[in-house]
Amino acid sequence: MRTVYLNGQFIPETEAKVSIFDRGLNFGQGVYEVSPVIDGKFRNWPHHAARLERSKALARIADDTDWPAVLTELIARNGLNEGRACLQLTGGEATDRAFPLPDPAIPATRFAFTQADDLLVNPWGKNGLRIVLRPDLRWQLRSAKTTQLLYAVMMKAEAREAGADDAWLVEDGLVTEATSSNAYIIDARGVLVSHPVDTGVLPGVTRICVMEIARGMGLPVEERPFTPDELFAAREAFISGAGTLVLPVTAVDGKPIGNGGPGTITSELRQRYIALLKTS
């Protein structure tokens, strides 16, 4: 049985309970982070910590938890070698359901848990992902990593029903991102193209490193939206995320991308990112 963290205590997962009046449950006033765990250590924390602070400010959630200490303890208690460490904060447990922020403020609800998974040996890393394109109908404040994930859940389900692994979202004729990761192409010129970090997409922690690695490889980079037509004409396509690392995309709406297999640049980016994680 896993040990989880809830409001300052490490307890068995079966004992963890949150009030039905919690503002995260009632209003989606919650933010979260997921850090990859490799060799028993959570990785890339400075970037995750910075994004968490931005998300908390946008969602108006106050918290001063020492998350590195909490995650270190959770990983040790659960004997986790590889997988994910997840933390979440909500607006706290109110006495009733009311839209205005409580005055005086109430303590945030804080919890964290670990999940075992194979990140380094991933079948999609070898075979590539198949995706479908769907309209981006999510809310517009995407730069905060909030728990407003209903549309992502729905689109993942639609992708699976269509025989694909995930969906990339399209708004005003431009690809924004995947349901829970950032989206990239290597276009016909050999340029890495990815949507700029603004309110239209989540500022991915893994994306920061991918861009740095790409530039270090001498790869031309353009931070701009791209169209579905550019995607279909691309040499390669891939995603990045804390829970997936870097994975190739090999087919979109049933059409192959490039030669229909994982691209060489994507594979190099994945290997370099894994190497970076092991030393971060």
φ/ψ of 37, rounded to 5, equals: -110, 120
Q: Is 145 a catalytic residue?
A: yes
Q: Which residue, chain included where needed, has tokens 């924004």?
A: 176
CA nearest to 174, candidates 229, 247, 116: 229
Q: Where do the DSSP E strands lie in 137-266?
A: 166-171, 174-178, 182-186, 192-194, 221-223, 236-241, 245-252, 255-256
* Three-state secondary structure call for residue 181: coil
| Distance in angstroms (rounded) separating the CA atoms of residues 3 and 80 | 11
- Give, in order, the Cα–Cα distances in Å from 43 to each of 33, 39, 54, 155, 242: 12, 10, 19, 28, 9
User: Per the residue annotation, which of 126, 145, 255, 278 is the catalytic one?
Assistant: 145
SS3 content of the chain, % helix, strand, coil (to 5): 30, 30, 40
Catalytic residue numbers read 145
